[in-house]
Amino acid sequence: MSPIPAGRPLRVLGIETSCDETAAAIVDGERRILSDRVLSQTGVHRPYGGIVPEIAARAHLDHLDGLVRDALAEAGVGLDGIDAVAATGGPGLIGGVMVGVMTAKGIALARGLPFLAVNHLEGHALTARLSDGLAFPYLLLLVSGGHTQLLVVEGVGRYVRLGTTIDDAAGEAFDKTAKLLGLPYPGGPAVERAAGGGDPTRFALPRPMLGRPGCDFSFSGLKTAVRHAVAALPQPLSPRDVADMAAAFQAAVAAVVADRGRRAVALFRARHPEGGALVVAGGVAANRAIRTALETLAAECALPFVAPPLRLCTDNGAMIAWAGIERLRLGQRDDLAFAPRPRWPLDPTAPAAIGAGVKA
């Protein structure tokens, strides 16, 4: 194994292939993103209205080598200037995860570099430290197509799950609502665009779990309520119907997120009375209504609010590279016998959630 050189910051190659973005990035130990290449598969999956795992895995296989070369070229370094290789080891669509892990293992073996298998959720959880240099501990809302979780982030590898979805993840509910409204895939951005011109008060949609004890989420009932409300309207839906329904749905999600978040803040403060921040990460963190609800909550609770740049909220290689740097600094690395994990909870002590999404 090649020694990690002194006299310059660590440089780690990060590879992300857990879902439908193929990504590679070079990040250094001074929090500089030297390159960040992401190839979206949205156009490939759009005709199917969702992600087809076999197609996603094939696209990763076709494009990952080229993206790694591009990331190295953009950073102005060769493989001899890289100190370790990190790849998403799970959770995610297993075919895609295997492509990224095997590519990273091959590079690590050929160059004598440390290999780090990164939990995809940890990549999101540590992104605020890459973007903002945030200190531990902090409260994280991880909200995406496959996950909706509230976590206390106490250190690298140290996470306490306060709540999770018991059925659909928020991003999944956005996608299904978009489909009900005849909006294009991906559903999250389409619903947000439609909601911009809508009246959120026209349709009385439920706020699942609102006011209940604990910090868990549920979005299946909200999705069902949208389906029933849409079915009761004259068909085809008018543009006004679509806009108002989208606005009502988005407002319901934001209200639930704020309510669950408020309870999580109380639990976080009981555990860590001083310091901390409220952080949001994951693809759905790009939604302005949800960000606004969380900003308001943070202000009410006198907590700093941290939201990484939008490009670091969606899946990317930079967050995987940074998580690799964090682990490498602690002397951690993984054996090349590591097996990709389709499911990999951040808090292994937390009870398993029922139907918590494909990547839970």
pLDDT tens digits for range 265-289: 999 999 999 879 999 999 899 899 9
CA-to-CA distance for 202 and 217, rounded, in angstroms? Answer: 24
- What domains are there in the chain, each with its CATH number? 11-128+312-329 (3.30.420.40), 137-307 (3.30.420.40)
Handedness of CA 60, 63, 66, 72 (dihedral sign): negative
CB-count exposure of residue 171 (10 Å: 0-12, 13-18, 19+): buried
- pTM of the predicted model over 0.85: yes
Q: Which residues lie closer than 8 Å to 275 by C-beta, 6 or more apart?
A: 135, 137
Q: What are phi and psi of 20, to 5 degrees?
A: -120, 20
Query: What are the residue ranges in the chain where pLDDT is below 50?
Result: 355-360
Helix (H) or strand (E) holding 162: strand 158-164
pLDDT at 93: 95
Please state, in angstroms and rounded to a whole number, the distance separating the CA atoms of residues 239 and 204. Answer: 18
Q: What is the pLDDT of residue 6?
A: 65
CA distance 326 to 123: 10
Tokens of 45: 């999956």
CA-to-CA separations, 45 to 50, 66, 184, in angstroms, rounded: 6, 21, 11
In this prediction, residue 359 carries a pLDDT of: 41
Write the DSSP assignment of 272-318 as a string of letters.
--S---EEEESGGGG-HHHHHHHHHHHHHTT--EE---HHHHSS-HH
Q: Are 324 and 135 in contact (CB under 8 A)?
A: no
Angle at 356 between CA 170 and CA 47, to 5 degrees: 60
Give the pLDDT of residue 360. Answer: 38
Q: Which two tokens stand for residue 115?
A: 């290999």
Q: Which two tokens stand for residue 355?
A: 């139907």
CA distance 199 to 240: 9
Q: Which residues pair with 36 in a beta bridge?
A: 25
